[in-house]
Amino acid sequence: MGDAFGGKEFREVVPEIHLTRPPWRYSDDTVMARGLVEVLDRHGSMDQDELARIFATRYEADPYRGYGLTVRQVLERIHGVTPWNQSARAVFNGVGSMGNGGAMRVAPLGAYFADDLDETVKQARASAEVTHAHPEGQAGAIATAVAAALAWRARDQERPREGLALLRTVLEYTPSGATRAGLEKSLTLGFDRTVAEATHVFGQRQPDHRARYRPLRPLVRGASSRQLYGCSLGCGFGGGRQRYELRDRGWDRNPGERRRSHSTRLAASP
């Protein structure tokens, strides 16, 4: 729902928040997040070959979901039987994309591995690598996944940690580079800044047209973990229907119990 609502309000200046008339179309971010959820549900980890296959198949079936030009090129190559690792490196003169697509779809993964932040980092990197070969494209996914994991942990706390504490922990797990530098800069941003000012600092597109810091927007206003949970995970789950599907699959259990159950189910499979 967050994805669809945001899509209706995708403009430079939004004078006020209001509900626009339907239909609300979800974007490629939701399509790819659902694919990521399917892979986790089947394997308990990121099977990159299957994730690439799902991404490419869904793109070919419905290409008009707002896919960017770069990811279109990557997915078309994958669908044309070029291995995903070659396809991801074929853009931007062989260095790969440092865009935000890996971060936009990764929130459910953070919830899935919430009890193990090291594993969250490993799996988030793997999920982004399928389409984003550049380390910065992967770093954005790592930062967002760790934030989502921390938010998931705090969902039932009476007084969840505040945004600065969350940001400091995210910073610890984010690799060195431009994304980490953006997080460090966010820690110096006072709470007296407006949303417009924060967006200007972190949301501006770079001269090379890659929006490196867009995944940081939900964090820069010092939101509590519970508020971030609603923003990051709620949007990442891609709407009410998928949220209830996750609950039916047992994803509302604590992560350790959830993965043990998954491992038992795999072991019992023929």
Residue 219 falls inside a structural domain: yes
> For the chain, what is the mean pLDDT?
76
Residue 263 falls inside a structural domain: no
Per-residue confidence (pLDDT) for residue 270, from 0 to 100: 40
- Find all residues with CB under 8 Å of 222, minimum gap 6, and list them: 162, 163, 164, 191
Residue 177 falls inside a structural domain: yes
φ and ψ at residue 145, rounded to 5 degrees = -65, -40
Query: Region 114-120: what's the mean pLDDT?
Result: 96
Give me the number of domains the chain comprises: 1
Per residue in 119-177, pLDDT (tens digit) is 999 999 999 999 999 999 999 999 999 999 998 888 777 766 677 888 899 999 999 99
Q: Interior CA angle at 122 toward 119 and 125, to 5°?
A: 145
Per-residue confidence (pLDDT) for residue 161, from 0 to 100: 63
Boundaries of domain holding 198: 2-253
What's the pTM? Answer: 0.76
Query: Region 87-110: what's the mean pLDDT?
Result: 94
Per residue in 194-221, pLDDT (tens digit) is 767 776 766 554 444 343 334 444 443 3
Distance of CA 130 to the CA centre of its chain: 13
The span from the CA of 125 to the CA of 30, in Å, is: 18
Residue 167 falls inside a structural domain: yes
Write out the two tokens for 146: 């760790």
Residue 34 falls inside a structural domain: yes
Element (H, E) at 39: helix 28-43
Residue 237 falls inside a structural domain: yes
Is residue 192 pLDDT above 50, yes or no?
yes
The span from the CA of 260 to the CA of 266, in Å, is: 10
Rg (CA), the chain: 18
Residue 270 falls inside a structural domain: no
Residue 264 falls inside a structural domain: no
Q: Tell me, what CATH number does 212's domain have? A: 1.10.4080.10
